[in-house]
């Protein structure tokens, strides 16, 4: 196509000199085409002519998505630099990162992830709108004023949205095992697998050129899968977590009781002291009815964690901490994380319900990295352990207004005191304090398990979408 000629006509049309050149592609259409072809020069030229890089066609497809799908790294970089939004979604809800994943272009996935994480650190657009718990878009104050219903293995709010559901039980059991010093940590292998481009293509055939709906497009992660059991198309890298016995029952803190699944599991690991923070009056009443207030070693703090924070800090440090609230945004969780260096013992383990952006795998990955980075700035290290959830059928969601989990894999965070790294943007006031605290405890308790990090520099590890061993994701 003679783009120069097209542009002259395009410019004339835009200036109103001619209304008859309609069939010619707009600058934006040219940009879409050039991006799909990976024609970096043409992309630069059309952008110079002020083509709108935000453009999305009638299917919601943007030039960035097209470039990502084609694996055109230079074009993707140019579009991002020119302001193309990394988080735009097509009409099926897929973003550029998923287009890259869907066609197996790991380099482009990494580029988009890095860009997205940096953009989020600076602008925080995703952070502010994303809820930390299950899916309902309800403010914490509104939620706390609603009547709740306990129905079997479901805890529902007044709108019929799920506050907590029984399908999470295996995840909660694992969270409890990770944070409880009394739990024996068996030898285990966590394995992250990335389906090869060939496998991704097969998936794509089902959905004609766009990522398969309702699935994690080219990424599947299998927990503890021995390499020999995988299919031929799957490349994998294992990360060994050394088994060890962690002595003593310890002091454990859980924020958010819900169905009490995690607290029951914590109890099974015989903590010396078990503190539970719960804000909702109906949940509190349920806990009392169930006899939690009389359990030896259990202390219930009634109120929002924000309100009881002084008591939590006075009682700190804790050997294990779990955070799983409802109706709170990422901003609130970040606020909680600010206090972690003080709350968490030197050898302690922190974990949280990892449900951020649970309807979009790429946004979810951005969050995993974002949280890792933000915690790293506080001297904390995050490892993500993949656990297979499988496909949750419609029967699981019966009676619940909205489905809040869409992936087949859940990444369990294991947070420990580790190395501190610098962030581009961060409130710095609390950072030093946390490190001092950690050093002080180290002096008291000696070099510890909290510093232990999984090893495993196997070939190909750099290709993993989420790296269990590296909080920064590089
Ligand atoms: C998803 S449920 C927790 C489920 C729990 N992990 C389990 O195993 O059953 C969230 C709980 O957090 C409580 N909650 C919500 N906001 C809170 C806050 N700001 N402080 C403390 N608890 C809160 C809710 O009332 C609810 O009981």
Per residue in 112-144, pLDDT tens?
Answer: 999 999 988 877 666 554 555 554 566 788 889
- pLDDT at residue 323 in the model: 98
Task: Indicate if the pLDDT at residue 56 is higher than 80.
Answer: yes
**Atom in ligand 1 nearest the alpha carbon of residue 328:** 16
d(CA 389, CA 398): 18
CB atoms within 10 A of CB 413: 21
Q: Residues 410-425: what's their mean pLDDT?
A: 76
Ligand 1 probe mutation, 131, 161, 253, 257, most atoms within 8 A of CB: 257
Mean pLDDT of the chain: 76
Distance 325 CA to ligand 1 centre (A): 4
Residue that has been written with the tokens 């007044």 in this structure: 158
Q: Residues 392-396: what's their mean pLDDT?
A: 93
Task: Indicate if the pLDDT at residue 49 is higher than 90.
Answer: yes
Closest-CA residue, ligand 1 atom 3, reads 258
Task: Indicate if the pLDDT at residue 289 is higher than 90.
Answer: yes
- pLDDT at residue 216 in the model: 40
The full 3-state SS of the chain, as one line of letters, equals CCHHHHHHHHHHHHCCCCCCCCCCCCHHHHHHHHHHHCCHHHHHHHHHCCCCCCCCCCCCCCHHHHHHHHCCHHHHHHHHHCCCCCCCECCCCCEHHHHHHHCCCHHHHHHHHHHHHHHHHHHCHHHHHCECCCCCCCCHHHHHCCCCEEECCEEECCCCCEEEEHHHHHHHHHHHHHHCCCCEECCEEEEEEEECHHHHHHHHHHCCCCCCCCCCCCCCCCCCCCHHHCCCCEEEEEEEECCEECCCCCEEEEECCCCCHHHHHHHHCCCCEEEEEECCHHHHHHHHHCCHHHCCCEEEEECCHHHHHHHHHHHCCEEEEEECCCCCEHHHHHHHHHCHHHHEEEEEEEEECCCCCCCCHHHHHHHHHHHHHHHHCCCEEEEEEEEECCCCCHHHHCCCCCCCCCCCEEEEEEEEECCCCCCCCCCCHHHHHHHHHHHHHHHHHCCCHHHCCCCCCCCCHHHCCCCCCCCCCC
- pLDDT at residue 128 in the model: 52
Distance 258 CA to ligand 1 centre (A): 5
d(CA 303, CA 200): 47
- Say if residues 414 and 242 touch (Cβ distance below 8 Å): no
Q: Residues 63-77: what's their mean pLDDT?
A: 98
Task: Indicate if the pLDDT at residue 286 is higher than 50.
Answer: yes
Task: Indicate if the pLDDT at residue 176 is higher than 80.
Answer: yes
d(CA 93, CA 426): 30
Task: Indicate if the pLDDT at residue 200 is higher than 90.
Answer: no
d(CA 298, CA 275): 6
Ligand 1 probe mutation, 142, 180, 311, 325, most atoms within 8 A of CB: 325
Looking at the chain, how many residues does it have? 474
Burial of 350 per CB tally in 10 Å (0-12, 13-18, 19+):
buried
- pLDDT at residue 184 in the model: 52
Ligand 1 probe mutation, 279, 288, 330, 354, most atoms within 8 A of CB: 279
Nearest to 416 by CA among 431, 438, 401, 396: 438
Comparing 274-288, 297-311, 397-411, the range with the smallest average pLDDT is 397-411
d(CA 432, CA 438): 10
- pLDDT at residue 25 in the model: 80
Q: Find all residues with CB under 8 Å of 424, minimum gap 6, and list them.
A: 118, 121, 122
- pLDDT at residue 313 in the model: 98
Identify the sign of the CA torsion 255, 258, 260, 265: negative
What does the pLDDT look like over 309-342, one tens digit per residue? 999 999 999 999 999 999 898 889 999 999 999 9
> Which residue would you say has higher pLDDT here, 8 or 412?
412
Q: Which percentage of the chain shows pLDDT scores above 70?
A: 66
Global pTM value: 0.74
**Atom in ligand 1 nearest the alpha carbon of residue 169:** 8
Task: Indicate if the pLDDT at residue 352 is higher than 70.
Answer: yes
- pLDDT at residue 462 in the model: 29
- pLDDT at residue 330 in the model: 87
Which residues share a beta bridge with 54?
none
Closest-CA residue, ligand 1 atom 10, reads 325
d(CA 443, CA 437): 10
Which residues share a beta bridge with 192?
237
- pLDDT at residue 126 in the model: 61
- pLDDT at residue 122 in the model: 76
Give ligand 1 pocket residues (Cβ under 6 A).
133, 140, 163-164, 172, 255-262, 277-280, 283, 304-305, 324-328
- The pair of structure tokens assigned to 402 is 């909205």
User: What domains are defined for the chain?
Assistant: 3-123 (1.25.40.20), 140-185+243-463 (3.40.50.150)
> Which residue would you say has higher pLDDT here, 462 or 68?
68
Q: Residues 22-44: what's their mean pLDDT?
A: 91
Task: Indicate if the pLDDT at residue 32 is higher than 80.
Answer: yes
Residue that has been written with the tokens 């050394």 in this structure: 242
What does the pLDDT look like over 75-101, one tens digit per residue? 999 999 999 999 999 999 999 999 999
What does the pLDDT look like over 202-237, one tens digit per residue? 433 344 443 333 334 333 232 222 222 222 221 212
Residue that has been written with the tokens 């878009």 in this structure: 137
Q: Which percentage of the chain shows pLDDT scores above 90?
A: 61
> Which residue would you say has higher pLDDT here, 20 or 298?
298
CA dihedral 460, 466, 469, 470 (to 10 degrees): 100
**Atom in ligand 1 nearest the alpha carbon of residue 256:** 12
Task: Indicate if the pLDDT at residue 420 is higher than 90.
Answer: no
- The pair of structure tokens assigned to 361 is 């795998």
The pairing of strands 149-151 and 188-195 is unpaired
Distance 450 CA to ligand 1 centre (A): 26
Which residues share a beta bridge with 321?
253, 350
CB atoms within 10 A of CB 264: 15
């Amino acid at each position: 196509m003679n783009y120069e000629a097209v542009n002259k006509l395009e410019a004339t049309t835009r200036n109103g000199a001619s209304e008859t050149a309609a069939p010619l592609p707009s600058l934006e259409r040219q940009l879409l085409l050039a991006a799909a072809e990976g024609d970096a020069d043409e992309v630069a030229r059309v952008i110079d002519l002020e083509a709108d890089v935000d453009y999305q066609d009638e299917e919601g497809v943007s030039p960035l998505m097209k470039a990502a799908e084609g694996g055109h790294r230079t074009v993707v970089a140019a579009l991002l630099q020119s302001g193309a939004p990394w988080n735009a979604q097509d009409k099926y809800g897929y973003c550029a990162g998923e287009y890259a994943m869907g066609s197996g272009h790991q380099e482009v996935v990494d580029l988009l992830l890095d860009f997205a994480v940096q953009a989020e650190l600076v602008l925080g657009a995703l952070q502010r709108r994303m809820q930390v718990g299950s899916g309902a878009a309800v403010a914490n104050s509104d939620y706390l004023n609603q009547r709740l219903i306990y129905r079997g293995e479901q805890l529902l709010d007044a709108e019929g949205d799920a506050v907590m559901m029984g399908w999470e039980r295996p995840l909660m059991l694992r969270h409890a095992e990770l944070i409880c010093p009394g739990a024996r940590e068996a030898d285990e292998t966590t394995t992250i697998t990335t389906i090869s481009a060939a496998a991704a293509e097969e998936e794509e055939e089902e959905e004609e050129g766009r990522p398969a709906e309702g699935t994690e497009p080219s990424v599947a992660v299998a927990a503890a899968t021995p390499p020999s059991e995988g299919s031929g198309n799957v490349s994998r890298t294992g990360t060994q977590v050394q088994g060890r016995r962690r002595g003593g029952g310890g002091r454990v803190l859980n924020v958010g009781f819900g169905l009490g699944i995690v607290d029951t599991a914590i109890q099974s690991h015989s903590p010396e002291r078990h503190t539970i923070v719960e804000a909702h009056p109906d949940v509190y009443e349920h806990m009392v009815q169930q006899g939690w207030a009389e359990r030896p070693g259990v202390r219930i703090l009634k109120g929002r964690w924000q309100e009881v924070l002084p008591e939590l800090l006075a009682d700190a440090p804790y050997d294990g901490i779990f955070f799983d609230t409802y109706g709170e945004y990422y901003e609130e969780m970040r606020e909680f994380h600010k206090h972690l260096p003080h709350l968490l013992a030197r050898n302690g383990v922190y974990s949280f319900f990892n449900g951020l952006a649970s309807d979009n795998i790429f946004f979810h990955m951005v969050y995993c990295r974002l949280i890792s980075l933000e915690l790293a700035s506080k001297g904390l290290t995050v490892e993500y352990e993949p656990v297979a959830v499988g496909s949750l059928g419609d029967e699981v969601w019966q009676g619940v207004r909205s489905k809040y989990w869409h992936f087949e894999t859940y990444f369990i965070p294991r947070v420990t005191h580790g190395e501190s790294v610098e962030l581009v943007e961060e409130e710095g006031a609390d950072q030093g304090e946390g490190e001092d605290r950690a050093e002080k405890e180290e002096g008291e308790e000696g070099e510890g398990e909290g510093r232990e990090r999984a090893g495993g520099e196997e070939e190909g590890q750099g290709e993993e979408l989420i790296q269990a061993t590296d909080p920064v994701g590089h």
